[in-house]
Amino acid sequence: MPESTGYVAIAPDETAHNVGPAQIDITFRRSGSTDAPPVLLIMGGAAQLIHWPDPFCNALVDAGLQVIRFDNRDAGLSTHITGAPAPDLPAVLAGDFSSASYTLTEMAADTVGLMDALGISTAHIVGASMGGQIAQIIATQFPQRVRSLVSMMSSTGSKSVGQVDPVVLREVFGKPVGSSRDEWIQHRVMAMRTVGSTPEFPSDVGELTARVALAYDRDHDETALARQAVATVATGDRTEQLRRISAPTLVIHGLADRMCDPSGGRATADAIPGAELVLIDGMGHSLAPGLRPRLASLISEFIWRVEAKTRRDLS
């Protein structure tokens, strides 16, 4: 399977929020034929390109698609923002956005900048969790660049939907992480299993631990994680903007998702005209091994339906 890895330098959007460098370096991995329809995979907060499992990506490539996954700004090997205000999530939740270094709008512009650098004029945009919100913004602000939109385990930004289960808040965010590498890895594995899928779709603990360890070694920046969380909240409610999306849209959400309540997926599909909604029993906030073939099939079949319709419309 042809694959390339590298990074590209892009000029970030100039906005009032952006206090970062004049250049953002985005690390990416590109798989499949460059002649195949391109699919951009956008990962969520506290996650990197390696959190898109290889078997899932390989299944998309085997379905005839080209896959580009990458590290968002402030994640992995891409540029981390320095010299920014200390992120203050409680203040942001109270409506004071002064500690926001950027919003998801700038991260959406990063993604389009990556497309420009790779010579991709239009793509199928797939986002998970925070990445789903970024994908939604691309579809609203750069509609000419989007062949289709897939929003997974995500929400609209409205505080009335997609909220975190209180048990998850207590178990994942209410306990000390520890200062050593081993303590951090143990905490992250616990967190990911807590928000994962039901026993019907169990985690592979060995695979999960190896990925968490690799993520730590690629990038361990707790302040960056907080900046992404602040950016997500500061972006606000996108419901009205979602009503203007014209791209064919597939919304996927797990009915066992405790990190982002299924109401977030339902609200997303309700807001986007003509969106298809797929709710999956037993699926949590994870790409568990037992779910990957189904998710890859759902996405690839949807994309090829869009490609076929586009070709018919052009003929």
Domain annotation covers residue 182: no
Domain annotation covers residue 62: yes
Q: What is the pTM of this model?
A: 0.94
* Mean pLDDT, each 10-residue run in order, the chain (315 residues): 63 49 85 97 95 97 97 94 88 91 94 94 98 98 98 97 94 84 94 93 95 95 92 96 98 98 98 98 97 98 97 89
Q: Which domain holds residue 257?
A: 3-162+222-314
CATH of the domain at 115: 3.40.50.1820
Q: Total structural domains in the chain?
A: 1
Domain annotation covers residue 213: no
Rounded CA separation 108/5 (Å): 21
Domain annotation covers residue 54: yes
Rounded CA separation 115/67 (Å): 12
Which residue pairs, CB below 8 angstroms and at least 24 apart, start in 163-169? 163/260, 163/261, 163/263, 163/264, 164/258, 164/259, 164/260, 164/261, 165/258, 165/259, 165/261, 167/258, 168/194, 168/195, 168/258, 168/259
Query: Do 40 and 123 touch, CB atoms closer than 8 A?
Result: yes
Residue 149 confidence (pLDDT): 98
Domain annotation covers residue 192: no
The alpha carbon torsion through 223, 111, 208, 281 (nearest 10 deg) reads 110
Rounded CA separation 298/283 (Å): 14
Q: Is 175 exposed, middle or buried (0-12, 13-18, 19+ CB in 10 A)?
A: exposed
Residue 16 confidence (pLDDT): 37
